[in-house]
Structure 1
Amino acid sequence: MKKLINNPTYVVEEMLDGFLKAHSNYIRVLPENDRALVTSRTTREGKVGVLIGGGSGHEPGFLGYVGDGMADGVAVGNIFASPPPAPILEVTKAIDKGAGVVYLYGNYAGDVMNFGMAAELAEMEGIKVEMVLGSDDVASAPKEEKHRRRGIAGELFVFKTAGAAADLGYSLEEVARIARKTNDHTRSMGVGLTPCSLPQTGKPSFEIGDDEMEIGLGHHGEPGIRKAKLQQADVVTDELVAAILEDIPLNEGEEVAVLVNGLGSTPRMELYIMFRRAEQILREKGIKIYRSYVGDYITSLEMGGCSITITKLDNELKTLLDHPADCPMFVQK
């Protein structure tokens, strides 16, 4: 599996170096730790800090969402691996403006452990921390065990609304409440078509036949619900949307945000075909799409496939979703 890299050992460092040079007007690295990045812009005193993070390989997640109206800093891990506590703590100290910091990250064992350790260290230094885990993947656990679910592309909406709340001056507790509410209103379901390969190994992350797909595949190649013969886009979309609507029923007249997220190598053409069918399904049920997003937002290196995310909206979440944002990989006016 071909890659345009140099030494596989240094892919994350070289990627970060290139990203910082390309987007120095948005983001800078802290001298204390080269995996701790913060906004280049001045943030006001008394603002709640928003810290996101996770493993590399999901670009533009997560460092692409540092900027005005979203995150104030990001801790970066190795490929598909949690950042250790040290860079999380350094970012926390750098972005704390006296009102505390909220951590937003996916529900994975390494992230839970390392962000938890960093929060304890931060509170020992007098910084109050709230933590909110993304858990939008309906394929990863049954509804009655939602606390076990993985966070996938739906985390984008959590970043967006929590970042807007912090920008508008909400308290730490209120920013965390908004993040939890968004996560509670969000469901995602994915399909995998082809594996990715880690630069260090060059080997496929999982095995799948040339004529197969895997419904419910995770962003790191975690097993999905089932493998099946590849179907037409409408058939696949029907299954993904049905699983979401079964988990979070929506009534006629309600409004949603919809994200069709590419995993790295799926052309926009195919993503728009998937969105087309999702819109048809929702329209036929009398559900209005308030905002839509189609593209690569949280990827898995060069994995083939996509996920569909639906977030149930109310007036509060619509206001926060509409709030302007200006980040390297997300601009909304």
Structure 2
Amino acid sequence: MAEPFYASKTEYVDRSLLGFARDQAGVVELNTDPIYVRAVDPDPRRQVGLLSGGGSGHEPMHAGLVGRGMLDAAAPGRVFASPHNRQVYEGSRAVAGPAGVLHIVKNYTGDRINFGIAAERLRHDGIPVARVLVDDDVATESQQTATGRRGTGATVLVEKLLGAAADQGAALDELVALGETIVGRSRSIAVASLAQTSPVTGKPGFELEEGELEYGVGIHGERAQHTIQRPPLEELVGRMVDDVVNHLPAGTAVFLFVNGLGGTTYIELYNVFAEAVDALATRDITVERSLVGPYTPALDMKGFSITMTMLEPDVESRPSGGWTALFDAPAWTAGYRK
């Protein structure tokens, strides 16, 4: 396999963050000890700071989603590894608003532990803190999985919608309630035809035979429970749409997010998106808003994921415009601009 283009085989994440902060100097600033990224121009109406984080290798999530309209800060760990609790703690102190700070946490053991330790320290300091746990991956929804569903693509939608609500001055408890409702109505599934390349060894994280797909792969390169023969795209997407819809509350309208896992072109992703819209139409489900692109990759994995958030009609009929209005609200980050 080809050697990656790193300045250092040990400090490549730190150098990447330095380059990122220099390139996006009008959007973010980098704190180096401990490492976290914070927004330079948050909306002044915010009462609650939003912080997320997790392993590197999923860019633009999370550091690339720091900026006006989305996150106030992100704590990046090493590749596919949780950030240290000190990163989360110091980043939270830096961006906490007068009503506290909200942690958006993906459901992985290391993230839960380190964000939990940081939250205890913040409470000891008298800073109000709460958590929204994202657990959307239906591939790990089984009694055999001790930790439950993994947090994957829905994290991007949660950060977008909560960012818009925070810009409206929402209180901490309001953001928690909104975030938990969004998570409860969001599910994802991912497939891959090639594994990610290890930044250390330069070798693939796992092997697949020609014509095979890993159905239900994780964003850290976790093997799926099922390796399948690759069907035609229409059939594959139809199966994925069924798996996601069958794990969602009943409804007739969704946000649809087709995510690239790092090594998949936009031509491919828009083919997937077209098939997903058609598959939903046969189920009498409309796509109210959509997002297509590699927002939650797994380094250079060849594959994609499908995420849906089922809308609530009574919420969308409110004068405020509901979640659709939050989706449409402006955002200005390195990785997402609207």
Q: TM-score range by the shorter chain?
A: over 0.9
2:249–2:310: 8 Å Cα contact kept in structure 1?
A: no
Match of 1:48 in 2: 48
**Distance change in 2, residues 1:42/1:248 (3 Å):** closer
Match of 2:332 in 1: 326
Match of 1:304 in 2: 302
Secondary structure at the residue paired with 2:151? coil
Match of 1:197 in 2: 197
Query: How do 1:190-269 and structure 2 match up within 5 A?
Result: 190-251=190-251, 254-269=252-267
Give me the whole-angstrom Cα distance separating, in 2, the residues matched to 1:157 and 1:72.
15
Farther off after superposition, 3-12 or 51-60: 3-12
1:286 positional shift: 2.1
1:47 positional shift: 1.4
Query: How do 1:105-116 and structure 2 match up within 5 A?
Result: 105-116=105-116
1:288 positional shift: 1.4
Alignment pair present for 1:270 and 2:276: no
How many residue pairs align between the two structures? 329
1:68 positional shift: 0.8
Deviation track 1:38-65 (CA, whole Å, cap 9, x = no partner) reads 1011553761000011110001111111
Give me the whole-angstrom Cα distance separating, in 2, the residues matched to 1:39 and 1:28.
6
Farther off after superposition, 165-174 or 308-317: 308-317
1:241 positional shift: 0.5
Match of 1:282 in 2: 280
Deviation track 1:201-222 (CA, whole Å, cap 9, x = no partner) reads 2222122112210110111111
- RMSD value, Cα: 1.7
Secondary structure at the residue paired with 1:201? coil
Query: How do 1:109-124 and structure 2 match up within 5 A?
Result: 109-124=109-124
Give me the whole-angstrom Cα distance separating, in 2, the residues matched to 1:101 and 1:189.
30
1:62–1:74: 8 Å Cα contact kept in structure 2?
A: yes
2:137–2:188: 8 Å Cα contact kept in structure 1?
A: yes
Mark the runs of 5 or more structure 2 residues left unpaired by the alignment: 317-321
TM-score by length of 1: 0.95
1:256–1:312: 8 Å Cα contact kept in structure 2?
A: yes
1:249 positional shift: 4.7
2:43–2:167: 8 Å Cα contact kept in structure 1?
A: no
Farther off after superposition, 56-65 or 38-47: 38-47
Match of 1:13 in 2: 14
Code of the aligned partner of 1:261: N
1:44–1:97: 8 Å Cα contact kept in structure 2?
A: no
Secondary structure at the residue paired with 2:14? helix
Code of the aligned partner of 2:310: K
Deviation track 1:70-105 (CA, whole Å, cap 9, x = no partner) reads 100000100000000111111111101221100002
Code of the aligned partner of 1:318: T
2:45–2:167: 8 Å Cα contact kept in structure 1?
A: no
1:263–1:296: 8 Å Cα contact kept in structure 2?
A: yes
